[in-house]
Amino acid sequence: MGVEIDEVECMPSINYLEWGTEALSSGIRSGALRSAQLVSEYLAKIEQRNMDLHAFVKTFPQRALDRAHALDKELSEGNWRGPLHGLPVAIKDLADIRGEITGFGSRCYSQAPATRNADFVDALEKAGAIIVGKTHTVEFAFGSWGTNYALGTPINPMLPGQTSPGGSSSGSAVAVAAGMIPLAVGSDTGGSVRIPASLCGVAGMKPSHGLISLEGVAPLSDALDTIGPLAKDIEGLRILLNGLRSRNVSEKQCNRPATIRFVTKAALEPVNDGIRSLYQNFVSRLSKTIEIEEFDLPLGLAEYQARCGQLMAYDAYQALHNILEDHRQPMDPWVRRRILMGREISDADHAETLERRDIDTAAFLESFGPDDVLVLPTTPYPAQPLESIDETQFPMSRFTRLANYLDLTAVTLPFESSLQAPVGIQFIMRRDNDDRLLSFLTDRLN
């Protein structure tokens, strides 16, 4: 695209917000598109849609535009920081941003502005990203429906009416799905990136635990928390992951094509009829171009979900008990109830759960090879109307918590669906195969 910047500014018919992530990055690098122009357009889209969709807690328009102009100047002087240079990013409101209060989806978590950035925020800015705002989350990031009765629930932009966005990274998924931002950051402790990505029809990733620093991130579970990217496409996940990471891993090179593993219909039950059918059809189509094998899970998906939930509840209670035990605090009663379950778990029981986790992981990996890719639906049900949600039930994380409990890496992508609601398909590999999984998906599915 050898178009001069002045020419681009005179071409209002070009909708850059519809471009893929790689095209946006390339456009900025080539000079066909200025970061300040792109950020301005996204800020206008946020202003237009956020009142109805409630995705952003707060935006930083002047700060973002000033940084965009500075990065445009850097580029004009020959300094390109990498693929994230000049791209706007939204951050889930559980990471410290200097000078801003870290709300953690709550009215009672913190009242003092952060004195420094979370490590991953610094990493993003070093890579050239522009932080445009903070997105809503389920209170304390503990909930898969995406509801927040303390600060308000983001609305799924892909469906009519008041429909659940999935959680807990609800605002991040809504912002990407609604075209308010090309890239967003969430957290995934039991599926909290993948579930809203799936229900809102975007791409999301749970990286290997420890790949991205948690320093400066409000904790839910130290044993399970991961920071993960959300984007409109696989390339967006790759670009954002590279900017987020705090360590590199030496990934084993595959000497043969990966084997797709799938589970039986019985292993998925109970599941929406349409999702079951879509999954079976997808596996059938894959079998025509790649080797696939049935996989017999050592434990049921609901059992992995429950065991992961025990770890989450214990850790969350340890981190947040001072707030939870003060019943004067204006807290979401459903989140309080979930976390208070951790009060009943003794230190001895928790130590036993951790030992059992190691045993369960070894049993899973014994039959799940280093070149295997497990394919699952991301959620057993599509998004639900807010008025019909039963907060005592947790069905949406039944297919996702396996990856957190066993510390696998997982990506969800939008599933071509005949249903009226978005559906995600999930791809899972062993830990530290993050880049390899993204490369596999790019090669096989694009």
Residues in contact with 25: Cβ distance below 8 Å, sequence separation at least 6, in sequence order: 83, 84, 85, 87, 239
Q: Other C-beta atoms within 10 Å of 345: how many? A: 18
Q: Are strands 259-262 and 372-377 parallel, antiparallel or unpaired?
A: parallel
Catalytic site includes residue 439 = no
* List 168, 170, 213, 221, catalytic entry: 168
Own/partner contacts of 107-111, CB < 8 Å, gap of 24 or more, are 107/150, 107/151, 107/330, 107/331, 108/323, 108/329, 108/330, 108/331, 109/140, 109/218, 109/323
354: enclosing H helix or E strand: helix 347-367
Closest residue by Cα to residue 211 from 253, 241, 251, 254:
241
Between the alpha carbon of residue 23 and those of residues 31, 33, 237, 242, 322, the distances in Å are: 12, 10, 14, 17, 47
Out of 25, 35, 92, 213, the active site residue is 92
**Torsion (CA) 134, 137, 141, 142 in degrees, nearest 10:** 180
246 is catalytic: no
**3-state helix, strand and coil shares in percent for the chain, rounded to the nearest 5:** 40, 15, 45
Cβ-based neighbours of 236, under 8 Å, separated by 6 or more: 20, 21, 182, 183, 203, 229
Catalytic: which of 187, 192, 198, 221?
192
Longest dimension (CA), the chain: 68
420 Cβ contact list (under 8 Å, min separation 6)? 159, 382
Q: Which residues contact 193 (CB under 8 A, 6 or more apart)?
A: 169, 172, 186, 187, 204, 205, 206, 226, 228, 229, 230, 412
Backbone angles phi, psi at 261, to 5 degrees: -110, 140
Active site residue 192: yes
Please list, residue by residue across 1-20, b when 16 or more beta carbons sit within 10 angstroms of its beta carbon and e when fewer do.
eeeeeeebeeeeeeebbebe
Query: Looking at the annotation, which residues are catalytic?
Result: 92, 168, 192
